[in-house]
Amino acid sequence: MDESTFWTKNAGRLSRRSLLRGAAVGAAGLAGAALIGCGDDDDAAGGGAAPAATQAAGAATSAAATVADVQRGGELVYGWSYDPPNLDPHTGTSGGERQWLHMPYDKLVNTTGMGLKTPSGLLEPRLSLAESWEQLDDKTVVLNLRPNVKIWKTDEAVNADLVKWNLDKGMDPGATTRSALGSLDNVEVVDDLTVRLNQSQVSAVLLSNMTDRPGSIISRKHFEDVGALEFGRNPLGSGPYQIVDWQSEASITFEANKDHWMKDEEGRQMPYLDKFTMNIIPDTTVRVAALEAGESDLLTSPSVDYARLKEDSNLQLSEFVGSHTYQWYLNMFFPPLDNEKFRKALSLSLDRENYIKNLLKGHEPVGKGLLTPASWAWDDSIVGDEFNPAEARKLLEGSGLPESEWVLRGQPIGASLSTGDQFYEASHAQAGIKIDWAEPERGSYATRVLVGLGGDASAAAFQSTWSMRLDPDGNVGDFYQETASYNPGQHPVPFLEPLVVKARETLDIDERKAIYREIEQYSIDHVINRVTNTYAIAARFGSSRVGNIDKVFGGEGKERFYYLYNKEGAA
């Protein structure tokens, strides 16, 4: 897209700087489902020493602290942009919740490391509620639970009965975790600290999936006491931090679980802090100002100020390349998305490079398929679509659709039309595609588009983000199966679904990677359920007080705040 076209179209509504700055609010729209996917806080979605430059995909960068530097006590304050909608791991739909789930909940299986270049090498018993596990055969896994773990400040034991209850809850037809637990037939309590997972089919991904929502263990007693709706805003588990105060749209205060079992590489108790506070600051400019004034210690990356902050010698920077994708979600039942040539024209008329240049940091990788460069299954030889509005128009003219039907019913998923929405509209107009926007509505990705989450299919598409999962199955399985939660219209995918199942049941890594390559290329060529825009770079700026900022990102690009400490210790 000619850059001048976009800015000319928006002249009078937005200046270039206000457009970029306003994307933080638009990001609430993007985050709304980046909430699905993202959970990062790029504007378009919507230290001591100068920060290090970005390294390889999935790598975090910063000036790393030495082991001897670790201090105990004190607090860190994080400037974030929106309230997490629902902290029940089994029913939440937002990628913007996923990093916060590591605070109140222990995971049955946990992971360490920056980036996923081996599918199982980052699973870490030292950080897991299951201190060991055993694969008895292709369909049976035994988890040996850590002893003497209790729900925070209660006598409720984290034992095999509680684990079974949680996994059964996660397999419920209404749970968003049901796809990730799809291979499970039943969960068997062997004894107080032993659980047997009996699968109905071979699965190479079950343990990896336990590092995310499906493996989060919540308090059954508290859930039953307060009810499902209240629990999402009043969670309780056995994790390293617990919520002690939640002021809606203002702040969330986490208190350290001083009895937590987790230890660092040197055998020292974690977490290190006494308290961790998330200040909810929707406006990007205000968030940046709070960091620079010393009122915040951490900041999600703002695109508009990224370059300037990166040059600030008082700040540190940690980045993760490929934390999520920016993309269209498409209901292929909804005309004209039932026409493959229209879908291909939509992909060819998306100006990915100008999106990166004008709305993001400027050095994100152009998107191809669903898997990002941080995934072990990433294959750079996959051929993506390049911006070609002339070719897109030819496809439209040969689609059999009259020009009056080159219209996509789009759903803004925030309170207003976001900057990203406006960019997509202007880009697709280059080929003659019009976007007919429905009324903006927070959370409408679930209520208006995603049929698997109860959507009424009153809109055809929305643009947002999608967070990377530890295993590729957590990505492709949620899009390319007919009943998957994030297959927008739950449209049949007869070629891809058998490949998804085959990859899930294949134990050889090279064979799995080849299958994922086939899935990726086919989905691009035929534009199945989605159009990738770009791959995101998650970035976190920190003040000089933040220790271990180089460890803040876990293997899938979500934060592990329990690694952080305050270099000044307790006040």
Higher-pLDDT residue of 148 and 180 is 148
Q: Is the peptide bond before 271 cis (omega within 30 degrees of 0)?
A: yes
CATH superfamily of 107-223: Dipeptide-binding Protein; Domain 1 (3.90.76.10)
**In 94-187, where does DSSP find H-type helix?**
95-98, 160-170
Residue positions counted in the chain = 571
pLDDT grade for 242, boundaries at 50, 70 and 90: very high
| 46-57: average pLDDT | 33
Which tokens sit at 360? Answer: 């993001």
Q: Would you say 1 and 351 are in contact if contact means Cβ atoms under 8 Å apart?
A: yes
Lowest mean pLDDT among 14-23, 156-165, 476-485, 533-542: 14-23
In degrees, to the nearest 5, what angle opens at C-alpha 314 toward C-alphas 293 and 99? Answer: 75
Q: What pLDDT score was predicted for residue 6?
A: 37
* Per-residue pLDDT at 571: 63
Burial 362-388 (b: 16+ CB within 10 A, else e): eebbbbbbbbbbbbbbbbeebeebebb
Predicted confidence at residue 81, as pLDDT, reads: 87
Give the domain ranges of the chain.
3-34+324-469+530-536, 67-104+225-321+540-566, 107-223
pLDDT (tens digit per residue) in 472-496: 998 999 999 999 989 999 999 999 9
End-to-end CA distance of the chain: give it in Å, rounded.
53
At 388-400, the pLDDT tens digits run 999 999 999 999 9
pTM score: 0.83
Separation between Cα atoms, residue 554 and residue 539, nearest integer Å: 13
- Cα separation, 402 vs 75, whole angstroms: 61
State what percent of residues in the chain have pLDDT above 90.
Answer: 69
What is the mean predicted confidence (pLDDT) over 30-35?
Answer: 32
Residue 460 has φ and ψ, to the nearest 5°, of -90, -30
Query: How many C-alpha atoms does 243 have within 13 Å on its Cβ side?
Result: 21
| Protein fold of 67-104+225-321+540-566 | D-Maltodextrin-Binding Protein; domain 2 (3.40.190)
Residues 53-66 pLDDT 10s: 333 344 444 444 44
3-34+324-469+530-536 carries CATH number 3.10.105.10? yes
- Secondary structure (3-state) at 278: strand
pLDDT band of 119, cuts 50, 70, 90: low
| Selected residue with higher pLDDT from 461 and 467 | 461
Quick one: pLDDT at residue 377? 93
pLDDT band at 309; cut points 50, 70, 90: very high
CB 159 within 8 A of CB 145: yes
Query: Is the pLDDT reported for residue 568 higher than 70?
Result: yes
Check whether 84 has a pLDDT greater than 80. yes
Domains 67-104+225-321+540-566 and 107-223 share a fold: no
Q: What is the pLDDT of residue 68?
A: 54
Kindly tell me if the per-residue pLDDT of 459 is higher than 70: yes
Residue with tokens 């499970």: 184
- pLDDT the model gives residue 127: 87
Amino acid letter, 269: Q
Other Cβ atoms less than 10 A from the Cβ of 413: the count is 33
